[in-house]
């Protein structure tokens, strides 16, 4: 069952990367930013639920966090293509994420700040700068470090909103990272490259 995306009165920014928590802390020093960092040991979807609950109550211009609502799907997708995942893990992650979204307990952020993606594995980098960037190019912003994140926040531009989450995750197990795509593979079976995905 599809539903319309929930929107809040604050701009919600998810910071992704090894030093995301530090970046959230730094960004939170600004008077117009509310930082939210849920216990990193909690399950990804539980972290996302707690963060979204804070977001809907916020009246600050910005809320920044490090609890990606798609973290479970991203991790399973990376393992799926890096041949580390048990059979069915990705399908379970997608089903659980959709279930939380359908009842309104999670929502995609207004923006992703992708921190130091050059240091990531190619597959993980392609999830954010390929798959998600392709879905909503203005909503995925690569930044090299936390200081750049602070400079980027007030410059975030407008752009098309995310597709419906059901549509975004439909067939995600068949969306192949660039480095695994065969030269003659149909475009419908592999995500198209973008300038960001080759970063």
Flag whether 194 is in a domain: no
Say how far apart CA 3 and CA 8 lie, in whole Å: 16
Residue 193 above 70 pLDDT?
Answer: no
Flag whether 44 is in a domain: yes
* Structure confidence at residue 149 as a pLDDT band (50, 70, 90): confident
CA distances from 184 to 68, 126, 174, 177, 179 (A): 33, 19, 15, 14, 13
Phi and psi at residue 72, to the nearest 5°: -65, -40
Domain carrying residue 183: 11-189
Flag whether 5 is in a domain: no
pLDDT tens per residue, range 13-63: 999 999 999 999 999 999 899 999 999 899 999 999 999 999 999 999 999
* Structure confidence at residue 87 as a pLDDT band (50, 70, 90): confident
Q: How many domains does the chain have?
A: 1
Flag whether 19 is in a domain: yes
Q: Which two tokens stand for residue 179?
A: 């480095």
Residue 192 above 50 pLDDT?
Answer: no
pLDDT value of position 182: 38
Residue 199 above 70 pLDDT?
Answer: no
Flag whether 4 is in a domain: no
Flag whether 3 is in a domain: no
What pTM was estimated for this model as a whole?
0.85
Mean residue pLDDT across the chain: 86
Most confident of 72-76, 172-176, 195-199: 72-76
Flag whether 103 is in a domain: yes
Please give the radius of gyration of the chain, using alpha carbons only, rounded to the nearest integer. 16
Flag whether 1 is in a domain: no
* Structure confidence at residue 198 as a pLDDT band (50, 70, 90): very low
Higher pLDDT, 147 or 110: 110
């Amino acid at each position: 069952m599809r539903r319309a995306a929930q929107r809040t009165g604050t701009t919600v920014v998810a910071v992704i990367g090894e030093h995301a928590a530090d970046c959230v802390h730094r960004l939170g020093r600004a008077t117009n930013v509310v930082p939210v960092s849920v216990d990193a040991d909690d399950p990804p979807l539980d972290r996302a639920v707690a963060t979204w609950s804070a977001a809907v109550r916020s009246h600050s211009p910005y809320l920044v966090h490090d609890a990606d609502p798609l973290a479970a799907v991203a991790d399973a997708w990376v393992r799926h293509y890096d041949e580390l995942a048990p059979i069915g893990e990705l399908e379970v992650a997608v089903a659980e994420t959709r279930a939380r979204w359908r009842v309104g307990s999670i929502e995609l952020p207004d923006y992703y700040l992708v921190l130091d993606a050059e240091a990531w594995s190619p597959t993980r980098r392609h999830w954010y700068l390929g798959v998600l960037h392709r879905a909503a190019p203005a909503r995925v912003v690569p930044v090299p470090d936390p200081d750049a994140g602070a400079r980027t926040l007030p410059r975030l531009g407008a752009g098309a909103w995310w597709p419906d989450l059901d549509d975004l995750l439909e067939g995600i197990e068949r969306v192949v990272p660039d480095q695994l795509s065969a030269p003659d593979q149909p475009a419908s079976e592999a995500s198209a490259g973008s300038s960001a995905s080759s970063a």
